[in-house]
Amino acid sequence: QLVAIQRPRFERILEFYFHARTELGEPEQRILTLEIMGKNSNIVLRQGETGKIYDSLRHVTPAMSRYRQILPGQLYIPPPAQGKKDPRQVQELTFYSSLQKTTQPLPQALIQVFAGLSPLLAQELVYRAGLAPAALPGELNRQQLGSLWDAFSQLVAVIEEHKERPTVVMDHRGNPLAFSLIPLQHFTTAEQLSFASINAAADFYYHHREKQEAVARLKEKLHGLLGKEIKRLEKTIDRQVATLQAMEKGEEYRRFGELLTANLYQVTPGDRAIIVTDYYSPSGEKIQIPLDPSLSPAANAQKYFQKYRKTITGRPHLEKQLAHNQSELTYLESTALALADAATWEEVTEIRRELAAQGYDRGETRDRQRASGHRPADTRPRPLAFRSRDGFTILVGKNNRQNDYLTRRLASKEDYWFHAKDIPGSHVIIRCPPQTDPPASTLEDAALLAAYYSKGRSSNQVAVDYTRVKNVRKPRGARPGMVIYEEYKTIFITPSREEVAKLLPLNAGDFPGNNQGPVQ
């Protein structure tokens, strides 16, 4: 029976006290100790009165530690005390003198001197005091030390008076960054969620972190799959290009064969080369023709004609294969780009479903069959949506499936379509009412988004093509998101996250299925 939970004075251990019985039925106390010390963390069960260890999660042998061993039958020795000061008992002058004995930057100095301070809270105290994190305690004047003391004592008061405001800090994509007993002001632009208790905040944080880790694992798997396929295709394309370059010598083979046929009488069996007059050259210059000494003169001529015929018959098929592989490489690179930007489980699994549908991730199909055999109820594409400076709705596909949906299903023929020129990237659509041309500033906004959500994001300048949707078509049998277009214009623009952030984002459900011009 659990009867008590204790945490020794700001130490890194938590102890659970139980009433239990021995094998003979005699009552005894047992203590389960959690040692929370990073890679050296452990769980130890011991007898309460004697301290004899029953067992532990990790055994620590004499070879691993001379100070203390954690082994069954040994007496339990707690981790060495950190020797830090209790923040609740520190006076102002002691605060100053203790800090100024350290040579670490302020956040590390606070952690080194005072018990119970996490790196997160130490950074927060320095921020609230208006000080630079890199500043050293010895560099602070009296006023700066006073500001740091005020922030420190206010934190202690919040804890002693039980005025905590448990908070989870979220990034711009809705992922949790940190949780704390108090709002964290040094996260100046992040959203902060309040909770009724620190347990609720921790539950929320770790639940979402588990989801983030699951997303990261799946992304890593898909990145590996895509990387392997991209590398394979690149090698195949290199071989095909080299073969085509060799085939460009076809005319030379034909010329060698004909010149050799006309000069067979000059060839002596066993010759490795012959020099003849090149009748195809306007100047009638001499040319050397390599020979296979193991073949007769006539057989050498026929060998050149065979090489020529091979280039003629094989080239069209090889060119077709090369074009297919180059298109496939573009598709896989665009998928890898979308995967790099995917942040949520829904976004990553949408890409996984697309790859499975294209025959690349068979594991996804097996996983679905092992589950319920059904996809989630709502698998509609949810592209990014923005409002331009002039109030027009601009939509951005987050993956190839969404690109297909935007261009082929959602967009009207009179809407405007944008794409970074000759590199993988998102399809971008400006929603336009009939017979409406968006202003130049809206065209620039859409081009900015097309450049930013492309492989050219880190470039100084990206060429972005744009045209009406009616001029964009998908070739038969093409992969998702692969299109060709005509009658286009080009805008050159510099991708900028800061400029993208100035555009008003809309929720995925905020744009209607019909055309939408400026929002009034």
Cβ proximity of 193 and 208 under 8 Å: no
Report how far residue 179's alpha carbon sits from residue 199's, in angstroms, rounded to the nearest whole number: 10
pLDDT tens for each residue of the chain, 520 residues long: 899 999 887 778 899 999 999 888 889 999 999 998 888 899 999 999 999 999 999 999 999 988 899 999 999 999 888 889 999 999 999 999 999 999 999 999 999 999 889 999 999 999 999 999 999 999 999 999 999 999 999 999 998 999 999 999 998 878 899 999 999 999 998 899 999 999 999 999 999 999 889 999 999 999 999 999 999 999 999 999 988 887 878 888 899 999 999 999 999 889 999 999 998 888 889 999 999 999 999 999 999 999 888 888 878 889 899 999 999 999 999 999 999 989 888 889 999 999 998 988 766 555 554 444 444 445 678 899 999 999 999 999 999 999 999 999 999 999 999 999 999 999 999 999 888 899 999 999 999 999 999 999 999 999 999 999 999 999 998 999 999 999 999 999 999 999 998 998 886 544 444 444 443 3
Q: What is the pLDDT of residue 507?
A: 66
What residue ranges do the domains of the chain occupy? 1-82, 87-194, 211-379, 384-510
Nearest to 462, CA basis, from 499, 516, 414: 499
SS3 237: helix
Cβ proximity of 317 and 434 under 8 Å: no
User: Could you report the per-residue pLDDT of 283-314, keeping only the tens digit for each?
Assistant: 889 999 999 999 999 999 999 999 888 888 87
Query: Positive or negative CA dihedral for 251, 255, 258, 264?
Result: negative
DSSP label of 29: E
CATH code, residues 1-82:
2.30.310.10
The two beta strands, 416-420 and 428-430, are: antiparallel
Report how far residue 166's alpha carbon sits from residue 184's, in angstroms, rounded to the nearest whole number: 10
Report how far residue 264's alpha carbon sits from residue 291's, in angstroms, rounded to the nearest whole number: 12
Q: What is the pLDDT of residue 514?
A: 41
Cβ proximity of 293 and 270 under 8 Å: yes
CATH topology of domain 87-194: Helicase, Ruva Protein; domain 3 (1.10.8)
Cβ proximity of 86 and 77 under 8 Å: no
3-state secondary structure 126-151: HHHCCCCCCCCHHHCCHHHHHHHHHH
Q: What is the pLDDT of residue 373?
A: 46
Q: What is the pLDDT of residue 520?
A: 35
CATH code, residues 211-379:
1.20.1330
CA distances from 464 to 211, 320, 508 (A): 36, 27, 24
Return the bridge partners of 32, or none.
16, 45
Report how far residue 297's alpha carbon sits from residue 318's, in angstroms, rounded to the nearest whole number: 31
Report how far residue 166's alpha carbon sits from residue 201's, in angstroms, rounded to the nearest whole number: 6
3-state secondary structure 155-202: HHHHHHCCCCCCEEEECCCCCEEEEECCCCCCCCCCEEEECCCHHHHH
